[in-house]
């Protein structure tokens, strides 16, 4: 191999990638750029630039799509040379005892070339950064893997990602408070904890950061009243630098804790402490929530997070594989990304299931295997839009009762449980609000509908048999043919 230069092309590389990014963004193709131009500069020779990518599949796809040629052409234009080639190393490839790594050129991606015998600049930087991070003790309440680096932004959540990053870099000043809302499993808690982890890494233990769920916050407040330790509770939360309060919809109808949160909010705002909230719906849809509390949170930055689109789902799967140090065939990744459309949590669950199956039976994954393994869990609706009528009929048939029984006021257990399950499924599979669901289930009050949903949601956390039943019913609803 030719001797390495002193990074003669590094600035050219950075400028070329910046120009291409701006060009794609201007053409409304920023997601395409972020997904299929994802590589890191490593080193160069007089006629080559070596880059690092996450996997063979990613590199080969970028070659196939012509993106490597686009980059090469741009660099040749900037340097006035016509013989510069891009070569790659795979970040997660296994390293032999001799520290040799596979080196693949864009011109002939299947042929092994000279090996790179020294650790890449990128890897050395990662090692240094990891060593530095280890010197900072883990925050006791935050998950270490919830960081901005492990979060994959896309069209559905770019706004939320950029806002959260701005908050992390300038807490208490950029946007305060910030509310992230949306359905389950779409990354609200991930972004919230990423803010906390970022600030913690920057400021360490001198930063008073608290992550807590609204339910735990309520329980702690209740205990402080019982034990007459309200002063300690108030001192703890009103002197924070960062408050991360998850799932504030839990506070609906609980006026006592809302009042305490109101005064905590005012105290933190006065000392310019950062506040971040998450919720499963817009603040305006919360019922039994005081107007002054809604106003305070609503006057901040409120961001709707939506399920990821195909490109983002694909990127999430690639990122997850990178973090796991695993690889699976590209057509299997494509199949999962196209068919698991609900949320990030289900997407990661499907991927984990695939990898687990492959490793347990020692068999290479195929699309046929993916279809078989994911069929029972993630099926696609065959009859178009899911309706409340369909949900009620499927659940009623399972329990051998009538739809009229589900809508009735009967309080017998044999009717109450199916009613609560049907309402839970309706909330998960449709866009109906709790007031609307209350109307569809016999003209019930929205608080009753909410209670039914929360009861099943809580039981699912500990009852595996109920979990299996609900999944089966949801599958039957999706497969229902009129």
Which of the four pLDDT bands, split at 50, 70 and 90, describes residue 118?
very low
Is the pLDDT at 25 greater than 70? The verdict is yes
CB 437 within 8 A of CB 423: yes
The mean per-residue pLDDT over the stretch 8-18 comes to 86
Among 78-82, 93-97, 227-231, 266-270, name the one with the lowest average pLDDT: 93-97
Beta bridge partners of 211: 244
Alpha helices in 204-254 (DSSP H): 214-226, 230-238
**Helix (H, G, I), strand (E, B), or coil: what is residue 253?**
coil
- Compare 317 and 111 and report the one with higher pLDDT: 317
Structural domains of the chain in order of their starting residue, each with its CATH number: 10-122 (3.30.300.180), 158-304 (3.40.50.300), 310-374 (1.10.8.60), 388-479 (1.10.1750.10)
pLDDT tens readout for residues 140-162? 889 998 999 999 888 778 899 99
What token pair was written down for 61? Answer: 């796809």
pLDDT value, residue 240: 96
**Helix (H, G, I), strand (E, B), or coil: what is residue 208?**
coil
Longest dimension (CA), the chain: 82
Is the pLDDT at 129 greater than 90? The verdict is no
Beta bridge partners of 49: 44, 86
CB 20 within 8 A of CB 54: no
The mean per-residue pLDDT over the stretch 26-54 comes to 82
Phi, psi dihedrals of residue 433, rounded to the nearest 5°: -80, 170
- Of 294, 189, 194, residue with least CA distance to 247: 189
Is the pLDDT at 474 greater than 90? The verdict is no
CB 344 within 8 A of CB 308: yes
- Compare 126 and 39 and report the one with higher pLDDT: 39
pLDDT value, residue 468: 82
User: Is residue 110 packed enough to be buried (19+ CB in 10 Å), middle (13-18) or exposed (0-12)?
Assistant: exposed
How far is CA 59 from each of CA 26, 91, 126, 176, rounded to the nearest angstrom?
25, 11, 21, 41
pLDDT value, residue 370: 87
Is the pLDDT at 361 greater than 70? The verdict is yes
Over its C-alpha atoms, the chain yields an Rg (Å, rounded) of 26
**Exposure class string for 48-71: b at 16+ Cβ within 10 A, else e:** bbbbbbbbbbbbbbbbeeebbebb
pLDDT value, residue 378: 54
pLDDT value, residue 385: 62
What token pair was written down for 183? Answer: 């359905």
pLDDT value, residue 213: 93
- Of 344, 435, 299, residue with least CA distance to 157: 344
- Of 247, 142, 144, residue with least CA distance to 188: 247
Which of the four pLDDT bands, split at 50, 70 and 90, describes residue 183?
confident
Q: Which long-range contacts link 280-287 to residues 24+ away (Cβ below 8 Å)?
A: 280/181, 280/182, 280/183, 280/184, 280/247, 280/249, 281/181, 281/249, 281/433, 282/181, 283/179, 283/181, 285/433, 285/434, 286/248, 286/249, 286/252, 287/252, 287/253, 287/434, 287/435, 287/446, 287/447, 287/450
pTM: 0.56
Instruction: Supply the DSSP symbol for 244.
Output: E
Among 5-19, 24-38, 86-100, 452-466, name the one with the lowest average pLDDT: 86-100
- Of 95, 207, 193, 100, residue with least CA distance to 151: 193
**Helix (H, G, I), strand (E, B), or coil: what is residue 229?**
coil
Q: State how far the Cα of 352 lies from the Cα of 79, in Å rounded to an integer.
A: 45
Instruction: Give me the chain's average pLDDT, please.
Output: 82
- Compare 95 and 190 and report the one with higher pLDDT: 190
pLDDT value, residue 256: 93
Total length of the chain: 482
pLDDT tens readout for residues 224-283? 999 999 999 999 999 999 999 999 999 999 999 999 999 999 999 999 999 999 998 888
Is the pLDDT at 102 greater than 50? The verdict is no
Is the pLDDT at 301 greater than 60? The verdict is yes
Which of the four pLDDT bands, split at 50, 70 and 90, describes residue 98?
very low
Q: Which helix (H) or strand (E) holds 277?
A: strand 274-279
pLDDT value, residue 136: 62
Is the pLDDT at 92 greater than 70? The verdict is no
Alpha helices in 244-362 (DSSP H): 255-270, 291-298, 310-324, 330-339, 344-361
pLDDT value, residue 5: 46
CA 376 distance to own-chain centroid: 23
CB 104 within 8 A of CB 59: yes
What token pair was written down for 378? Answer: 């993630």
């Amino acid at each position: 191999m030719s001797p390495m230069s002193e990074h003669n092309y590094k600035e050219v590389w950075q400028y070329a990638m910046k120009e291409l990014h701006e060009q794609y963004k201007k053409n409304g193709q920023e997601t395409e750029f972020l997904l299929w131009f994802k590589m890191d500069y490593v080193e160069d020779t007089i006629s080559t630039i070596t880059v690092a990518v996450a996997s063979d599949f990613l590199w080969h796809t970028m070659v196939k799509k012509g993106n490597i040629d686009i980059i090469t052409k741009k660099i040749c234009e900037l340097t006035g040379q016509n013989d510069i080639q891009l070569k790659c190393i795979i970040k997660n490839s296994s390293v032999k005892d001799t520290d040799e790594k596979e080196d693949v050129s864009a011109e002939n991606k299947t042929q092994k070339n000279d090996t790179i015998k020294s650790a890449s600049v990128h890897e050395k930087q990662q090692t240094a950064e990891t060593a530095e991070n280890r010197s900072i003790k883990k925050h006791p309440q935050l998950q270490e893997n919830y960081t901005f680096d492990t979060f994959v932004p896309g069209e559905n959540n770019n706004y939320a990602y950029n806002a959260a990053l701005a908050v992390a870099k300038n807490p208490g000043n950029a946007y305060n408070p910030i509310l992230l809302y949306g359905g389950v499993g779409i990354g609200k808690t991930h972004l919230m904890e990423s803010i906390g982890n970022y600030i913690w890494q920057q400021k360490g233990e001198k930063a008073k950061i608290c992550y807590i769920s609204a339910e735990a916050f309520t329980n702690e407040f209740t205990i402080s009243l019982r034990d007459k330790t309200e002063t300690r509770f108030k001192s703890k939360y009103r002197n924070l630098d960062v408050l991360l309060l998850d799932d504030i919809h839990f506070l609906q109808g609980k006026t006592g804790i809302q009042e305490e949160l109101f005064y905590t909010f005012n105290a933190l705002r006065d000392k310019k402490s950062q506040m971040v909230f998450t919720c499963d719906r817009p603040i305006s849809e919360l019922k039994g929530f005081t107007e002054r509390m809604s106003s305070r949170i609503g006057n901040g930055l409120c961001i709707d997070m939506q399920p990821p689109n195909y490109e983002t789902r694909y990127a999430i799967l690639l990122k997850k594989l990178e973090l796991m140090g695993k690889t699976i065939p590209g057509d299997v990744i494509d199949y999962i990304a196209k068919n698991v459309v609900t949320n990030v949590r289900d997407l990661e669950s499907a991927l984990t299931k695939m990898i687990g199956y492959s490793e347990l039976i020692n068999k290479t994954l195929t699309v046929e295997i993916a279809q078989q393994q994911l069929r029972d869990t993630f099926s696609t609706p065959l009859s178009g839009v899911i309706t409340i009528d369909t949900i009620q009929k499927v659940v009623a048939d399972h329990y051998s009762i009538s739809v009229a029984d589900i809508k009735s006021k009967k309080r017998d257990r044999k009717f109450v449980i199916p009613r609560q399950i049907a309402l839970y499924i309706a909330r998960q599979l449709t866009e109906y609000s709790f007031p609307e669901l209350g109307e569809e289930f016999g003209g019930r009050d929205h608080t009753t509908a909410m209670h039914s949903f929360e009861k099943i949601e809580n039981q699912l956390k500990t009852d595996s048999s109920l979990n299996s039943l609900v999944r089966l019913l949801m599958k039957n609803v999706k497969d229902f043919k009129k």
